């Protein structure tokens, strides 16, 4: 990644919009000390600020045990909306405030500087993308890695959902607001990392598994009757594995369905009349024991 680009990208700020005084946290008695504060503080907003907010709230409640801090991770845009609507005390955002949000009374306080990174699969040979190339990828002007000197493979663009502060800061830095074309939009930073991990694992399995499958043969794999991958002459046959699964499932249905039906009849027609005087907790205890 181009160093100048990374310096610019690191300017994306994680900010806390404070609603002013902490409403409901203490009495009007000027003689009270801070340790006498009581009440609740509510926060909502950026998912990328989860670790920071959790650490801050835990530390705050240790210092002020009579104050309860609640945090919801709804996205930067939703957090600011809740703040200006007066439904929370603090809005968390991973972007700067917009002029319209400031006009509604939100106040910006920088809590940390947050870097935004663009990641690709480790097998991808493309490197040192420029700002313009990134903009072309995210707006759909470049759709294949071969256009950037890589392999002839389609580019799958994954990013945050509309309203995310991280996405807003990223698009603002690239000057591509409202023009991005995403293949998938995820509602949290963790979701983006999770889907990237799944894609990486899938690509790895296909890359490593395809040669092995060609060597073994599809027919041998599906209809072979011996599974012995560690033998001197390895064999890979899953016919018996599939067959045993089918037989096991069929037997479970044949045995389980009649028992379930008989149990239902017993409980409704017999037990309901003869055992109605026994508290239900006794049946629960019996079930837990056996």
Asked whether residue 33 carries a pLDDT value surpassing 50, the answer given is no
**pLDDT for the residue numbered 186:** 60
Residues 249, 198, 123: CA angle, nearest 5 degrees:
135
Asked whether residue 205 carries a pLDDT value surpassing 50, the answer given is yes
Q: What's the rounded Cα separation, in Å, for the pair 221 and 225?
A: 9
Mean pLDDT of the chain: 77
Highest-pLDDT range among 9-18, 117-126, 138-147, 272-281: 138-147
Strands, E assignment, the chain: 13-18, 39-45, 67-72, 90-93, 107-113, 158-160, 184-186, 227-228, 235-236
Overall average pLDDT of the 73-98 stretch: 90
Percent of the chain with pLDDT over 70: 77
**pLDDT for the residue numbered 67:** 93
* Residues with Cβ within 8 Å of residue 264, at least 6 apart in sequence: none
* pTM for the model: 0.47
Asked whether residue 228 carries a pLDDT value surpassing 50, the answer given is yes
- Do residues 30 and 159 touch, judged by C-beta distance below 8 A? no
Highest-pLDDT range among 92-101, 156-165, 202-211, 212-221: 92-101
DSSP states along 59-86: HHHHH-TTEEEEEE---HHHHHHHHHHT
In 3-state terms, what secondary structure has residue 174? helix
Confidence of residue 89 (pLDDT cuts 50, 70, 90): very high
In 3-state terms, what secondary structure has residue 21? coil
Confidence of residue 5 (pLDDT cuts 50, 70, 90): very low
pLDDT in tens, 189-199: 666 667 767 77
**In the chain, helix, strand, coil percent, each to 5?**
50, 15, 35
In 3-state terms, what secondary structure has residue 158? strand
For residue 64, how far is the Cα from the chain centroid?
31
């Amino acid at each position: 990644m181009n160093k100048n680009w990374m310096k610019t990208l690191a300017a994306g700020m994680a900010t806390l919009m404070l609603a002013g005084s902490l409403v409901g946290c203490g009495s009007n008695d000027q003689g009270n000390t801070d340790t006498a504060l009581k009440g609740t503080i509510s926060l909502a907003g950026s998912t990328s600020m989860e670790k920071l907010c959790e650490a801050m709230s835990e530390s705050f409640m240790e210092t002020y045990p009579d104050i309860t801090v609640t945090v919801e991770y709804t996205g930067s845009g939703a957090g600011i909306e809740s703040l200006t609507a007066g439904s929370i005390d603090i809005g968390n955002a991973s972007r700067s405030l917009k002029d319209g949000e400031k006009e509604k009374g939100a106040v910006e306080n920088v809590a940390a500087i947050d870097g935004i990174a663009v990641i690709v699969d480790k097998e991808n040979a493309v490197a040192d993308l420029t700002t313009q190339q990134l903009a072309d990828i995210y707006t759909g002007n470049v759709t294949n890695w071969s256009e950037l000197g890589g392999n002839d493979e389609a580019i799958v663009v994954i990013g945050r959902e509309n309203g995310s502060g991280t996405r807003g800061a990223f698009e603002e830095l690239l000057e591509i607001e409202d023009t991005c074309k995403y293949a998938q939009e995820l509602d949290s930073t963790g979701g983006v990392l999770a889907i990237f991990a799944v894609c990486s694992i899938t690509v790895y399995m296909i890359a490593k598994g395809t040669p092995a499958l060609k060597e073994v043969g599809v027919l041998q794999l599906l209809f072979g009757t011996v599974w012995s991958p560690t033998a001197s002459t390895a064999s890979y046959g899953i016919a018996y594995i599939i067959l045993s699964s089918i037989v096991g499932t069929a037997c479970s249905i044949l045995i389980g369905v009649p028992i379930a039906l008989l149990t239902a009849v017993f409980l409704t027609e017999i037990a309901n009349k003869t055992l109605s005087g026994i508290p239900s907790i006794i049946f629960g205890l019996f079930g837990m024991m056996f």
